[in-house]
A and B are shown apart, each in its own frame.
Chain A
Amino acid sequence: MIQSNADFETIVKNHQEKVRNICYRFVKNREDADDLAQEVFMQVYESLSYFRKEANISTWIYRIAVNKSLDFLRKKKRKKRFGQLVSIVGFGEKQESEVVIPSGDNPHRNVEAVERKEILDNAIDKLPENQKKAIVLSRYEEFSNKEIAEIMNLSVSAVEALIHRAKRNLHQLLYQYFERKV
């Protein structure tokens, strides 16, 4: 339980990097990730009185981060659909997607890496939400299955099944993609 601002500061400092990176994994934009991470801790601050002492505060905070990130993506998708509709009709501005510029060391390697990253991210985006959560937390953030189970409020075996299905579906999606290219 927060006794003072010093406690809250400690909580923020201990969790901010993980929270920022969790948000970044889902929203793939630094500014949005930072903004969301701030919103996460504001919710933590406002809800701390409701937090059950016996639960793990870290998994509670990461759960808020995951849920806020997915809410953000849902809203963004709806806005995008609306924006596309408006631009088709001829009223809105053209939607601009974020351009990722590779760093200068090895331009060929970096362009390839960026492209592969984008291909992987697009495939992950197509996964069902729970599979997406599980695979992102497992492969990107290296949470253990037990930690993921606590964050997602599931059993460990359910998480294992989700990760297994996610890997299988990812493979299928990537196969379909490269089948057209190769």
Chain B
Amino acid sequence: MDRKRKIEEEIARTLEEFDRVERLPEDPYFYTRLQTRLRERLTEKTGFFKLLRPAIVTALLLLNIVTAFFYLSADTSVQTTDSRQQMVLLLSKELGMEQSENNIFSLLEE
């Protein structure tokens, strides 16, 4: 019982520290320092965006050049194959027939 009372006393004395709270002293330069920080942050932001704009423009320009290069150098010629022959082969395959079996194919070949 005595031990419990002592513990409770210690707890009460510790909780009294809530009433002896230390407050920070006033800082007369707080707003001045804040203004400096705000100005620095604003400079960082505008500096960053100023760099970004020409970088984006350059990137777009490069992209256009590369695209144009690949487009112009691409082989655009159409391979001439016997399209009729290809169609005959395709139809034979579809219908499950031998090419020579069906008269319609010979019509196509004309």
A and B: bona fide binding partners:
yes
**Interfacial residues, chain A to chain B (CB-CB below 8 A):** 9, 12-13, 16-17, 20-21, 24, 30, 33-34, 37-38, 41-42, 45, 113, 116-117, 119-120, 139-140, 170-171, 174-175, 178-179, 181-182
Residue of B nearest to A30 (CB): B24
B13 at the binding interface (Cβ < 8 Å): yes
Q: Would you give 12 A-B contacts (Cβ < 8 Å), ordered by A?
A: A12-B31, A17-B24, A20-B30, A34-B30, A113-B20, A119-B14, A140-B21, A171-B11, A174-B10, A178-B7, A178-B11, A182-B3
A120 touches B26 (CB 8 A): no
Partner of B24, one of A21, A41, A181: A21
Q: Is the interface of A mostly helix, strand, loop or mixed?
A: helix
B50 interface hit (Cβ, 8 Å): no
- The 3 A-B pairs of least Cβ separation, nearest first, read A178-B10, A139-B18, A174-B11
Contact A182 B31 (CB under 8 A): no
Q: Given the interface contacts A24-B24, A42-B38, A178-B11, does A120 sit within 8 Å of B17 by beta carbon?
A: yes
Q: Please, which residue of chain B has its CB at the minimum distance from the CB of A9?
A: B31
B6 A182 Cβ-Cβ under 8 A: yes
A116 CA to B17 CA in the complex, in Å? 7
